[in-house]
């Protein structure tokens, strides 16, 4: 008998074993074939070519039989006797016990093989118990299978997975643990590595890593019914031919232990660069004016479009006056529609997810 302590399988081996349909198909086929041989031996009371007075009949070749199982299509050779009296009880019990068989085989390989476990499986499948010698022979087959499986060289796919995991870990570390499967997939494609997004997600699950998700939103845009809004000059088309033709702006917040700190930015739509920004403890028009003034000082544009939402800061008299003085054309999307200012919303989503949400700030300084 093989004691469970004699066989130890590491965690990577367990995962590979339970996710290798070819190996499981081979194991199930060998198991069932051995069960059939043990079953006819018990029925005839004699091993093949054994001379004994207890023999009740003789073998008469095999009949092929195909079964569809959870691990694929398996082909079995059902033994026959000369009188045609032998009828295997395996298939009648197998249909009801297939799931239990798969779990029992996996457990036997992961925790160790013993005659007690094998005897229990045979009784469930065939409705009868076999001799100790027959069960011991099945246990030896189990040991041979698992030793052959552990000694086999890694497949081509497994070798590629090892290299992919190195690249995935490098990209994930470089992003400070923020990149998930979609972004790492794009990075791999940029490197010229052809791989599926689902495969990247599977490997990340195996490695126990994932991206960082977003936080719940807080409203920072407040629209006033009395204010005059500027027309929408962008119409959700953020494609421009050069710099300083279209700027997008918005406001977000940074939570601290001493209250919210508000951040206003101005982004150039062509370069995707933040050309102006400002922070304050309030949501007054001075916040967005400071960000606009920084952008004007750094870029000195001519006839640039400043696109934002309909927040009271952007519809204020002071902000409109500053735009006229600098030759800036204000543009505003529809109220409550994030898609009209999608470029800036996307920037804030990345900033919040990958930087702000992952840190705690004690003060506003």
What pLDDT score does 1 carry?
34
Query: Length of the chain, please?
Result: 365
What pLDDT score does 214 carry?
60
What pLDDT score does 250 carry?
92
Query: CA-to-CA distance for 113 and 127, rounded, in angstroms?
Result: 21
Residues 6+ apart with CB under 8 A from 79: 36, 37, 40, 59, 61, 62, 86
Query: CA-to-CA distance for 70 and 18, rounded, in angstroms?
Result: 13
Query: CA-to-CA distance for 264 and 300, rounded, in angstroms?
Result: 19
Residue 64: other Cβ atoms inside 10 A: 8
Residues 6+ apart with CB under 8 A from 331: 230, 231, 232, 233, 234, 305, 306, 307, 308
What pLDDT score does 30 carry?
78
pTM (2 d.p.): 0.47
Q: Which secondary-structure segment (H or E) carries 33?
A: helix 21-44
Residues 6+ apart with CB under 8 A from 280: 261, 262, 264, 286, 287, 290
Beta bridge partners of 246: 305
- DSSP class of residue 4 equals G
What pLDDT score does 277 carry?
94
What pLDDT score does 6 carry?
39
- pLDDT tens, the chain, 365 aa long: 333 333 344 555 555 555 566 767 777 787 788 878 888 888 888 888 888 888 888 999 999 988 777 667 888 899 999 998 888 877 666 655 555 555 555 555 555 555 566 666 656 555 555 556 655 666 666 667 666 766 777 778 888 898 999 999 999 888 888 888 898 999 999 989 999 999 999 999 888 888 776 655 555 555 555 556 889 999 999 999 999 999 999 999 888 888 889 999 999 999 999 999 999 999 899 999 999 999 999 999 989 999 999 888 999 999 999 999 999 999 998 887 888 889 998 898 888 877 787 777 888 77
Rg (CA), the chain: 35
- DSSP class of residue 137 equals H
């Amino acid at each position: 008998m093989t004691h469970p302590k004699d066989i130890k399988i590491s965690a990577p081996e367990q995962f590979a074993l339970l996710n290798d349909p070819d190996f499981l198909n081979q194991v199930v086929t060998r198991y069932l074939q051995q069960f059939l041989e043990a079953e006819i031996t018990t029925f005839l009371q004699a091993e093949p070519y054994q001379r004994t007075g207890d023999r009740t009949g003789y073998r008469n070749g095999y009949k092929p039989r195909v079964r569809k199982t959870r691990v694929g299509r398996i082909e079995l050779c059902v033994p026959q006797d000369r009188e045609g009296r032998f009828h295997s009880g395996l298939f009648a019990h197998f249909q009801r016990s297939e799931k239990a068989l798969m779990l029992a085989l996996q457990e036997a390989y992961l925790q160790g093989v013993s005659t007690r476990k094998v005897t229990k499986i045979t009784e469930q499948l065939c409705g009868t118990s076999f001799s100790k010698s027959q069960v011991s022979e099945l246990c030896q087959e189990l040991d041979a299978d698992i030793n052959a499986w552990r000694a086999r060289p890694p497949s081509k796919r497994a070798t590629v997975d090892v290299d992919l995991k190195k690249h995935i870990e490098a990209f994930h570390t470089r992003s400070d643990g923020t990149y998930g499967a979609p972004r790492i997939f794009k990075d791999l494609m940029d490197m010229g590595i052809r791989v599926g997004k689902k495969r990247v997600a599977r490997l990340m699950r195996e490695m126990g890593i994932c991206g960082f998700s977003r936080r719940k939103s807080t409203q920072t845009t407040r629209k006033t019914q009395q204010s005059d809004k500027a027309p929408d000059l962008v119409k959700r088309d953020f494609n421009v031919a050069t710099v300083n033709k279209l700027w997008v702006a918005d406001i977000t917040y940074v939570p601290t232990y001493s209250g919210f700190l508000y951040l206003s930015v101005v982004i150039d739509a062509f370069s995707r660069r933040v050309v102006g920004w400002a922070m304050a403890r309030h949501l007054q028009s001075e916040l967005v004016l400071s960000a606009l003034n920084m952008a004007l000082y750094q870029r000195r544009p001519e006839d640039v479009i400043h696109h934002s939402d309909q927040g009271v800061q952007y519809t204020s008299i002071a902000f409109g006056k500053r735009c006229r003085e600098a030759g800036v054309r204000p543009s505003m999307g529809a109220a409550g529609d994030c898609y009209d200012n999608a470029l800036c919303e996307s920037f804030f989503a990345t900033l919040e997810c990958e930087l702000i949400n992952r840190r705690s700030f004690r003060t506003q300084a």
